[in-house]
């Protein structure tokens, strides 16, 4: 695996792939990698000839009171994991290369980035779209892969790629879960053992709400029940919502729907989501 820290060298390596007629798949990450990221790499290997992974803890997607400073950074372990998984190129841009300073052009996520997580983390998705647009400009992949665990992020990036006519296919990869159902996340590392034990209430509450709605139960009652269950388990709930899977607006009859939740346990904010289909 090549490890590259300078844009000039990245461009050269990508040009080499292109000159050999190879397609490039890209997996952007913030590091602290786990089996969920490796699932993205495995799908990326099937989608193209070469796999590029980036690690960049993006300051612009963290709010002032969020965990940018303490976000786990594990470059050596991550690099070994990626090499073992068969990644061709690890791209490690510097903050200076990503954000040279001065008046810069941002990409705004707009309405789809202002609801759900965006309403609780103002500016978060503008930071995501800005950095992902820059990463796309650097790597210029044919296809980019994102985990469905961050469903809103995936929807926002799909929309960005379509609206800006980037010519990059955006592929979602199903959420990887622990045996008890908790979605894998780099932030699970923050959970104390007692909070980790309680955290399983999140996928369970979503699963119960999904069954109620899928079998014709009242969606509003199902969402209220999920909020009650999570509160009783010790969560501080930001939202549990049923939305149109693509636009994240109100559900539209006959269109795919998604149940999404965000809640804090012991100071750690967890998110999760699942598909809902009427039986
Ligand atoms: O999902 C993440 O790890 C980040 O939000 C991403 C897409 C790498 C942008 O910084």
| Alpha carbon distance 112, 266 (integer Å) | 29
Q: Nearest to residue 24, comparing CAs of 45, 3, 2, 38?
A: 45
What range defines the domain where residue 256 resides?
Answer: 186-273
Contact 237, 272 (CB under 8 A): no
Q: At what angle do helices 75-84 and 35-47 cross, to 10 degrees?
A: 40
- Entry field: residues in the chain: 279
Task: Assess whether 147 and 267 both reside in one domain.
Answer: no
Task: Assess whether 141 and 250 both reside in one domain.
Answer: no
Backbone phi and psi for residue 211, each to the nearest 5 degrees, phi listed first: -65, -40
Domain finish residue from 144, 173, 202: 173
Contact 155, 112 (CB under 8 A): yes
3-class state of residue 43 by DSSP: helix
The pLDDT value given to residue 277: 84
If you search the block for the tokens 């495995």, which residue do you land on?
42
Q: Would you state the structure tokens that stand for residue 209, as one six-digit string?
A: 């709400």
The residues near 100 (Cβ < 8 Å, ≥ 6 apart) are: none
* Ligand 1 contacts CB of residue 130 (under 6 A): no
Task: Assess whether 14 and 139 both reside in one domain.
Answer: yes
Domain finish residue from 151, 173, 195: 173
With respect to residue 279, please indicate whether it lies within any of the assigned structural domains. Answer: no
Task: Assess whether 57 and 84 both reside in one domain.
Answer: yes
Task: Assess whether 88 and 195 both reside in one domain.
Answer: no
With respect to residue 178, please indicate whether it lies within any of the assigned structural domains. Answer: no
Task: Assess whether 87 and 212 both reside in one domain.
Answer: no
Task: Assess whether 167 and 62 both reside in one domain.
Answer: yes
Nearest CA to ligand 1 atom 9: 128
The pLDDT value given to residue 29: 98
The pLDDT value given to residue 278: 74
The pLDDT value given to residue 279: 66
The rounded Å distance from CA 131 to ligand 1 centre is 8
If you search the block for the tokens 């490890």, which residue do you land on?
3
What is the count of structural domains for the chain? 2
With respect to residue 113, please indicate whether it lies within any of the assigned structural domains. Answer: yes
Of 34, 37, 120, 124, which residue is the catalytic one?
37
Complete DSSP assignment for 145-156: EEEGGGHHHHHH
The pLDDT value given to residue 48: 98
Mean pLDDT for the chain? 97
With respect to residue 278, please indicate whether it lies within any of the assigned structural domains. Answer: no
Q: Would you state the structure tokens that stand for residue 76, as one six-digit string?
A: 């050596």
Number of Cβ atoms within 10 Å of the Cβ of 19? 8
What are the average pLDDT values for consecutive 10-residue runs of the chain, which has 279 residues?
Answer: 98 98 98 97 98 98 95 97 98 96 91 98 98 98 98 98 98 98 96 98 98 96 98 98 98 95 97 90
Examine the residue annotation and report whether 37 is marked as an active-site residue of this protein: yes
């Amino acid at each position: 695996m090549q490890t590259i820290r300078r844009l000039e060298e990245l461009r050269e390596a990508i040009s080499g792939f292109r000159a050999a007629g190879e397609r490039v798949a890209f997996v952007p990450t913030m590091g602290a990698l786990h089996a969920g990221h490796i699932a993205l790499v495995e799908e990326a290997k099937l989608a193209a000839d070469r796999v590029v992974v980036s690690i960049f803890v993006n300051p612009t997607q963290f709010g002032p009171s969020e965990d940018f400073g303490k976000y786990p950074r594990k470059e050596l372990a991550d690099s070994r994991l990626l090499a073992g998984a068969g990644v061709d190129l690890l791209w490690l841009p510097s903050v200076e290369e990503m954000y040279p300073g001065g008046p810069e052009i941002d990409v705004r996520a707009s309405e789809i980035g202002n609801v759900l997580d965006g309403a609780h983390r103002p500016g978060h998705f503008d930071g995501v779209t800005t950095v992902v647009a820059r990463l796309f400009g650097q790597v210029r992949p044919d296809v980019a892969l994102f985990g469905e665990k961050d469903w809103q992020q995936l929807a926002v990036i799909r929309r960005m790629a379509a609206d800006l006519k980037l010519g990059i296919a955006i592929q979602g990869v199903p959420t990887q879960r622990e045996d008890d159902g908790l979605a894998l996340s780099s932030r699970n590392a923050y959970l104390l053992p007692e909070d980790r034990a309680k955290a399983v209430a999140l996928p369970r509450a979503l699963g119960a709400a999904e069954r109620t709605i899928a079998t014709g139960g009242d969606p509003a009652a199902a969402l209220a029940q999920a909020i009650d269950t999570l509160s009783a388990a010790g969560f501080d709930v930001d939202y549990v919502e049923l939305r149109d899977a693509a636009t994240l607006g109100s559900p539209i009859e006959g269109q795919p729907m998604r149940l999404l939740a965000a809640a804090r346990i012991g100071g750690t904010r967890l998110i999760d989501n699942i598909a809902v289909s009427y039986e």
